[in-house]
Amino acid sequence: MSDDDKDERQERREKKQKRRNRGMLFKLVVFVAVMSGFGYAMVPMYKSICEALGVNVIARGDVGSAYGTKASDVNTQVDTSRDIKVEFDANARGPWEFHPEQNEVTVHPGQLTTVMYEFRNTQSRTMTAQAIPSYAPGVAQSHFTKVECFCFNQQTLAPGESKRWPVIFVVDSKLPRDVKTITLSYTFFEVGGTTPPAPAGQLEAKPHA
């Protein structure tokens, strides 16, 4: 075989390999385009399926974000057929002021709600305190979810300092239907101080008309 024949065969093999490479590249491009389109299509498909089934797992991101907690952390499926009255109480066990800004709210199960508490250190020294929550009736405790609460941590205030703290909560839709009112009470006591802590156990249910 002459050198010209060898060169010609080599050239044909190179051209054939180039055609294969181009074909493979084209297939990969098509595959990527198809998969990208499928990924984008999944979002509206997913939303449509959730709406059809009545499932709301995509929560609004604006609620509660002012306090560093996104509503997407909570399933905000709301049961508008029920009204639950939530009462707020505060026991200041020491020389300071501590109270909710509102005494009660009416909410629907699943509704993300924010209430504010005010605290003022009336002493001439820095203090560190802790809030302990109680619930009435006791069965409400397992159906009352706090997303954000000052009771999660100890709080330190300078002499005369005042603060406002949020409580962001959701009442579970599985709350027994005979429970119409929940009382959330906080006892605020100084950590390491002489003021005794709140008594153990749940609050007794308050009678309601």
The pair phi, psi for residue 11, each rounded to 5°, is -65, -40
Task: Look at the pTM and tell me if it is higher than 0.75.
Answer: no
3-state secondary structure of 151: helix
Task: Please report the pLDDT score of residue 166 as a whole number.
Answer: 93
Q: Tens digit of pLDDT for each residue in 98-152? A: 899 999 999 999 999 999 999 999 989 999 988 999 999 999 999 999 999 999 9
Which residues are CB-contacts of 171 (< 8 A; sequence separation ≥ 6)? 84, 86, 107, 109, 110, 111, 140, 143, 144, 145, 182
Give the pLDDT confidence score for residue 32 in this predicted structure: 56
**54 Rama sector, left if φ>0, alpha if ψ -120 to 50, beta otherwise:** left
Whole-angstrom Cα distance, residue 51 to residue 106? 27
Q: Report the largest interatomic distance among the alpha carbons of the chain, rounded to a whole angstrom.
A: 111
Report residue 36 as tokens: 């990208």
Q: What is the mean pLDDT of each run of 10 residues along the chain (209 residues)?
A: 66 75 70 51 45 37 33 65 94 83 94 94 90 92 92 91 94 93 91 54 42
3-state helix, strand, coil in the chain (%, to 5): 30, 30, 35
What type of residue is 2? S
Distances (CA, A) of 100 to 22, 31, 107, 110, 176: 71, 59, 17, 22, 26
Extract the runs of DSSP E, i.e. beta strands, from 101-199. Answer: 104-107, 113-121, 127-136, 144-149, 155-157, 162-171, 181-190
For 6, the 3-state DSSP assignment is helix
